[in-house]
């Protein structure tokens, strides 16, 4: 598919539900006794993989004609032995969080995934979960396919996170839910806190203490009883990132994006783009279902190159690919560092982005832990392709945005991965006036 230079983007849109919150809504609802109700669930392939796995372990999950999801849970400790392998597709979050859930149940499960997921490291979760008593037989390099056996009762863990990862933190918390006693996690660099908020919302006894240096200490009392909830999932800021950058870059644009999640642990991209000179207004700030939300008004802007603080990384980890596109149109050089984690996402996002940017005429240097990008100062990019997306939805959507500010268009080799996190992406861009 080819995305070509767009006229000014205009209109009001909403993006699909938050992927991180959607996964957690299904998992926690499946552990509550009684019926939970989820509105705004992301119906992307990654979340549907989580739904299928929770069904395979005993939860009753359905969707009504109004698009509301209803989950009848089995109770903490009540998950059943799945009869077939759990097929995780492209989804790292499903895989790692479900490993945590299973770790404290006496069940055996096999995890499989697509070619991208099968390359991603799992030691970061199998190591702490082994200390809680689970056992793993993984493919070489501690990768999928992998079979695990949980232990009940599991051993509660006291653990300092060696990597800034909400997936690792959440896997341990989910395992701790069914372990007798207190699970304690020391998080030196804060990451998205949806698990903590939602666990508390479901009635778990969870405490967070923030120390003067920013380290968070999270304690969770196990053998919790979760109460069913009615959940409203806000729009995904990681999906909103694409129309935000598109509207900043396409001259003359002005758009509104309604109901975007603005949790501070996720809002790093907005901070970065504003520091580059981006015109982004937040209207109607409010709280929905325990999460801060607002409407964004984004106007075309002349951006300046930047050297962002690497400490921003966890709060915009999935947004770097599209931030690199913004940098490619900015005035001057941008230097991004401290991003080694991008090498273990759906693709190696530093290499994939550097190769793709070069293919469309951008001067870019790849570093061990980042990239240096020379901006065009607002001039259209040359364009080209086909861009190799390597089963990575965020690469596909980032280069689609680049196509809207290119002379000859940008061709994407495969748009199918977009369905993992952002069904309707191309139609939504078209509704704003973009050309695809």
Binding residues: 19-20, 24, 92, 120, 165, 167, 318, 345, 349, 394
Nearest residue (CB) to ligand PEP, 178 versus 238: 238
170 binds ligand S3P (CB under 6 A): yes
> Quick one: what does residue 315 bind among ligand PEP, ligand S3P, none, with the CB cut-off 5 to 8 Å set by partner type?
none
92 binds ligand PEP (CB under 6 A): yes
Nearest Cα residue to 28 out of 67, 87, 79: 79
Tell the smallest beta-carbon distance from residue 91 to ligand S3P (Å): 9
Whether the Cβ atoms of residue 33 and residue 75 lie closer than 8 Å to each other: yes
User: Which position's Cβ is nearest ligand PEP?
Assistant: 92
25 binds ligand S3P (CB under 6 A): no
Tell the smallest beta-carbon distance from residue 225 to ligand PEP (Å): 28
Contact pattern from residue 308 through residue 347 relative to ligand S3P, giving x for each residue in contact according to CB under 6 A and a dash for the rest: ---------xx----------------------x------
114 binds ligand PEP (CB under 6 A): no
283-322 in b/e form (b: 16+ CB < 10 A) is eeeeebbbbbbbbbbbebbebbbbebeeebbbbbbbbbbb
Tell the smallest beta-carbon distance from residue 172 to ligand S3P (Å): 12
Using CA atoms of 244, 248, 249, 251 in order, give the dihedral in degrees to the nearest 10.
Answer: 130
> Quick one: what does residue 166 bind among ligand PEP, ligand S3P, none, with the CB cut-off 5 to 8 Å set by partner type?
ligand S3P
Tell the smallest beta-carbon distance from residue 355 to ligand S3P (Å): 21
360-388 in b/e form (b: 16+ CB < 10 A) is bbbebebeeebbbbbbbeeebbebbbebb
Other beta carbons within 10 Å of 65: 5
> Quick one: what does residue 192 bind among ligand PEP, ligand S3P, none, with the CB cut-off 5 to 8 Å set by partner type?
ligand S3P
Tokens of 210: 């923030």
* Secondary structure E strands in 150-278: 158-160, 182-187, 206-210, 216-221, 230-232, 254-261
Gap between the Cα atoms of 302 and 170, Å rounded? 39
Question: What residues does 92 pair with on adjacent strands?
Answer: none
Nearest residue (CB) to ligand PEP, 118 versus 302: 118
Phi then psi for residue 156, to 5 deg, are: -60, 150
421 binds ligand PEP (CB under 6 A): yes
Specify the DSSP element, H or E, that contains 143: strand 143-149
End-to-end CA distance of the chain: give it in Å, rounded.
7
Nearest Cα residue to 148 out of 133, 165, 160, 164: 133
345 binds ligand PEP (CB under 6 A): yes
**Would residue 318 show up in a list of annotated catalytic residues for this protein?**
yes
Tell the smallest beta-carbon distance from residue 92 to ligand PEP (Å): 3
Gap between the Cα atoms of 41 and 267, Å rounded? 20
Cα Rg of the chain (Å, integer): 21
Region class of 168: left (phi > 0), else alpha (psi between -120 and 50), else beta: alpha
> Quick one: what does residue 346 bind among ligand PEP, ligand S3P, none, with the CB cut-off 5 to 8 Å set by partner type?
ligand PEP
Contact pattern from residue 127 through residue 166 relative to ligand S3P, giving x for each residue in contact according to CB under 6 A and a dash for the rest: --------------------------------------xx
Total of chain residues touching ligand PEP, rule CB under 6 A? 9
93 binds ligand PEP (CB under 6 A): yes
Contact pattern from residue 192 through residue 221 relative to ligand S3P, giving x for each residue in contact according to CB under 6 A and a dash for the rest: x-----------------------------
Tokens of 329: 């149109």
Contact pattern from residue 375 through residue 394 relative to ligand PEP, giving x for each residue in contact according to CB under 6 A and a dash for the rest: -------------------x
Residues of each annotated binding site for 3-phosphoshikimate: 19-20, 24, 165, 167, 318, 345
Give the footprint of ligand PEP on this chain (CB under 6 A).
46, 91-93, 318, 345-346, 394, 421
């Amino acid at each position: 598919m080819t995305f070509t230079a767009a006229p000014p983007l205009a209109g009001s849109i909403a993006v699909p539900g938050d992927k991180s919150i959607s996964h957690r809504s299904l998992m926690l609802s499946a552990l509550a006794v009684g019926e939970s109700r989820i509105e705004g669930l992301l119906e992307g392939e990654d979340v549907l993989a989580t739904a299928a796995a929770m069904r395979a372990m005993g939860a009753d999950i359905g969707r009504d004609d109004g698009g509301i999801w209803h989950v009848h849970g089995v109770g903490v400790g009540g998950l059943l032995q799945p009869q077939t392998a759990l097929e995780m597709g492209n989804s790292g979050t499903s895989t790692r969080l479900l490993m945590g859930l299973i770790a404290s149940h006496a069940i055996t499960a096999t995890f499989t995934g697509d070619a991208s997921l099968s390359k991603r490291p799992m030691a970061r979760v199998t190591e702490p979960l082994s200390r809680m008593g689970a056992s793993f037989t993984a493919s070489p390099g501690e990768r999928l396919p992998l079979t695990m056996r949980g232990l009940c009762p599991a051993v509660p863990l006291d653990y300092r996170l060696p990597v800034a990862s909400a997936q690792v933190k959440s896997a341990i918390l989910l395992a701790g839910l069914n372990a007798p006693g207190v699970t304690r996690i020391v998080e030196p660099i804060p990451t998205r806190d949806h698990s903590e908020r939602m666990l508390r919302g479901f009635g778990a006894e969870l405490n967070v203490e923030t120390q003067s240096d920013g380290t968070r200490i999270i304690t969770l009392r196990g053998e919790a009883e979760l109460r069913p909830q009615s959940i409203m999932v806000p729009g995904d800021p990681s999906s909103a990132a694409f129309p935000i950058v598109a509207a900043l870059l396409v001259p003359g644009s002005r758009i509104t994006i309604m109901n975007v999640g603005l949790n501070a642990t996720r809002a790093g991209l907005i901070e970065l783009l504003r520091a580059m000179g981006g015109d982004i207004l937040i209207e109607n700030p409010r709280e929905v279902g325990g999460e801060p939300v607002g409407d964004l008004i984004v106007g075309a802007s002349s951006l300046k190159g930047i050297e962002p603080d690497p400490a921003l990384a966890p709060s915009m980890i999935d947004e770097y690919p599209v931030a690199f596109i913004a940098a490619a149109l900015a005035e001057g050089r941008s230097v991004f560092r401290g991003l080694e984690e991008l090498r273990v996402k759906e693709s190696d996002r530093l290499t994939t982005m550097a190769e793709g940017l070069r293919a469309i005429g951008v001067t870019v240097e790849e570093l061990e832990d980042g990239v240096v990008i020379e901006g065009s100062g607002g001039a259209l990019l040359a364009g080209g392709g086909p861009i190799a997306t390597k089963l990575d939805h965020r690469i596909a959507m980032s280069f689609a945005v680049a196509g809207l500010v290119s002379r000859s268009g940008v061709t994407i080799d495969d748009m199918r991965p977009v369905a993992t996190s952002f069904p309707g992406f191309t139609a939504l861009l078209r509704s704003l006036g973009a050309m695809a």
